[in-house]
Amino acid sequence: MNPRSILRRRRSLLLSAAGAAVVLAASVAVAGTAEAASTLGASAAQSGRYFGAAIAAGKLGDSTYTGILTREFNAVTPENEMKWDATEPSQGRFTYTNGDRILNQGLSNGSKVRGHALLWHAQQPSWAQSLSGSALRSAAINHVTQVATHYKGKIYAWDVVNEAFADGGGGGRRDSNLQRTGNDWIEAAFRAAHTADPNAKLCYNDYNTDGVNAKSTGVYTMVRDFKSRGVPIDCVGFQSHLGTGIPGDYQANLQRFADLGVDVQITELDVAQGGNQASIYSSVTRACMAVTRCTGITVWGIRDSDSWRTGENPLLFDNSGNKKAAYTSVLNALNAGGPTVPPTSGPTSPPTSSPTTPPSAGACSASVTLNSWSGGYTATVKVTAGSAAVNGWAVTVNLPAGGAVTNAWNATSTGTSGTVGFANVSYNGQIPAGGSTEFGFQGTGSGPSATPTCRAS
């Protein structure tokens, strides 16, 4: 959908919800403490949070722009430079020049870098737009793997998948070429990203999910399912492109996601200029500050003239780079403080240390569930311990001729075709008596038809 019409729809939703919205405080508490910091980033950092901006590589030569950037912000997001059309303009040819400029700008300023976005229905290169089925699935997973590998160890959080849920009341997925490759495309993307960069936080990011509504509940249900099945998701991004209102349950919505065990982040904040702009900015900031797992806020641009919302003046600095009232309201809300983000809420990649004293060995069994499409599949393998605890396991799968394993998660693999071996990784080798764990792999051709064998150690 055209971003303008998305925004129009978004705004009408907000307006229609205005009657139910909380009454916003007309004035903002000023911290007035010795700790009050004078820039957004420094102020956010006092509670372990970041305050970031989406930036454009083409503007880094503008000294007013970079002056505000380096003074105020301690996180950056590339507005367009890490999207699929920018990073893989023709299939298999990767271009990172502008993405790297954003990365280096951020890192050299001591900032966190949010990667945006590995897979999205929009801003796909034309070659990907014309693919479908297994060719698109493979290309998409390869894209995730290549880009996340290029930036491995440098990205604080990746928007692995952007805007995959539909608007309207259903709470279901948006139709797209990616969605038509199978409902599991999102988890396949998260698994590939986790394999490529185990230390980046992996986020799902969307708009119109800023309050409790059918769309955000659809995302919530997906995240809950991912957490229950061990799909590596660490965070959810709430874009928060707001009009003249804010959902009354904005903070409660953040909190319900945080309660699932993921971080939450405000990822693309901008607010239409009007009487309420400063107080809406303040409300968003206070909501994040009140949620322990809300790790940071990003505004979608620096000056009003940098915004994608031409003419709406939705940002914190005016066209000349002067601070607006909204800036002051955000700074005050940050300086008012909130629960500190625990340092332990870093990437939730599983521990890598191995047990030193292995428990005694026992038998195991394995079963496979396939999700197939024409020319490919993903397999989920359940490994179940027998009557004794298992300290390590090896599963053997026989693949039909012509197919190959392209990607595996939660296991190491040996071989890609014919008889393929999978073994536990450090964090899932130990299975209690009668317990089970899961690993998965993706392949071309048809999936295995016979029950895999399992050997315990």
Q: Kindly list the catalytic residues.
A: 163, 268
Q: Which is nearer to ligand 9MR, 134 or 162 (CB)?
A: 162
CB of 3 to ligand 9MR, least distance (A): 4
* Residues with Cβ within 8 Å of residue 256, at least 6 apart in sequence: 212, 220
Among 12, 33, 123, 354, binds ligand 9MR (CB under 6 A): 123
172-211 binders of ligand 9MR (CB under 6 A): 207
What would the x/- binding string for ligand 9MR be over residues 138 to 177, using CB under 6 A? ------------------------x---------------
Measured distance CA(12)–CA(23) in Å, rounded: 19
455 three-class SS: strand
10 Å CB burial of residue 26 (0-12, 13-18, 19+) is exposed
Q: Which is nearer to ligand 9MR, 210 or 268 (CB)?
A: 268
Among 49, 73, 79, 102, binds ligand 9MR (CB under 6 A): 79
What would the x/- binding string for ligand 9MR be over residues 360 to 379, using CB under 6 A? --------------------
What would the x/- binding string for ligand 9MR be over residues 298 to 317, using CB under 6 A? ----------x---------
Q: Taking a C-beta distance cutoff of 8 angstroms, is the pair 430, 360 a contact?
A: no
| Residue 432 binds ligand 9MR, judged by CB under 6 A | no
CB of 167 to ligand 9MR, least distance (A): 13
Among 37, 60, 122, 404, binds ligand 9MR (CB under 6 A): 122
Q: Which is nearer to ligand 9MR, 235 or 454 (CB)?
A: 235
| Residue 77 binds ligand 9MR, judged by CB under 6 A | no
CB of 57 to ligand 9MR, least distance (A): 12
Q: Which is nearer to ligand 9MR, 122 or 325 (CB)?
A: 122
| Residue 239 binds ligand 9MR, judged by CB under 6 A | yes
CB of 380 to ligand 9MR, least distance (A): 31
Question: What is the b/e burial string over 123-161, where b = at least 16 CB atoms within 10 angstroms of the residue's CB?
Answer: ebbeebeebeebbbbbbbbbbbbbbbebbeebbbbbbbb
CB of 426 to ligand 9MR, least distance (A): 36
CB of 383 to ligand 9MR, least distance (A): 39
Other C-beta atoms within 10 Å of 214: how many? 16
Q: Which residue has the tokens 């403080």?
A: 337
Site size for ligand 9MR, by CB under 6 A?
10
Q: Which is nearer to ligand 9MR, 124 or 285 (CB)?
A: 124
260-279 binders of ligand 9MR (CB under 6 A): 268
Measured distance CA(50)–CA(31) in Å, rounded: 18
Q: Which is nearer to ligand 9MR, 308 or 373 (CB)?
A: 308
CB of 287 to ligand 9MR, least distance (A): 20
Q: How far is CA 142 from CA 90, 102, 132, 349, 421, in A?
A: 13, 23, 14, 21, 22
Other C-beta atoms within 10 Å of 230: how many? 17
CB of 252 to ligand 9MR, least distance (A): 23
185 three-class SS: helix
Q: Which is nearer to ligand 9MR, 79 or 197 (CB)?
A: 79
CB of 80 to ligand 9MR, least distance (A): 5
Q: Which is nearer to ligand 9MR, 167 or 268 (CB)?
A: 268
Q: Which is nearer to ligand 9MR, 203 or 381 (CB)?
A: 203
Measured distance CA(241)–CA(268) in Å, rounded: 6
Q: Taking a C-beta distance cutoff of 8 angstroms, is the pair 243, 272 a contact?
A: yes
| Residue 3 binds ligand 9MR, judged by CB under 6 A | yes
Amino acid at 126: S
Measured distance CA(394)–CA(399) in Å, rounded: 16
Within 242-376, residue ranges assigned H as helices are 250-258, 277-290, 325-335
Residue in 196, 239, 200, 192 with CA at minimum distance from that of residue 216: 239
Residue in 28, 1, 23 with CA at minimum distance from that of residue 329: 28
Measured distance CA(89)–CA(83) in Å, rounded: 10
Q: How far is CA 126 from CA 133, 155, 179, 433, in A?
A: 16, 27, 17, 51
What is the phi/psi pair of residue 122, to 5°? -100, 165
Q: Which helix (H) or strand (E) holds 157?
A: strand 157-162
| Residue 80 binds ligand 9MR, judged by CB under 6 A | yes
For binding to ligand 9MR (CB under 6 A), which residues are involved? 3, 79-80, 122-123, 162, 207, 239, 268, 308
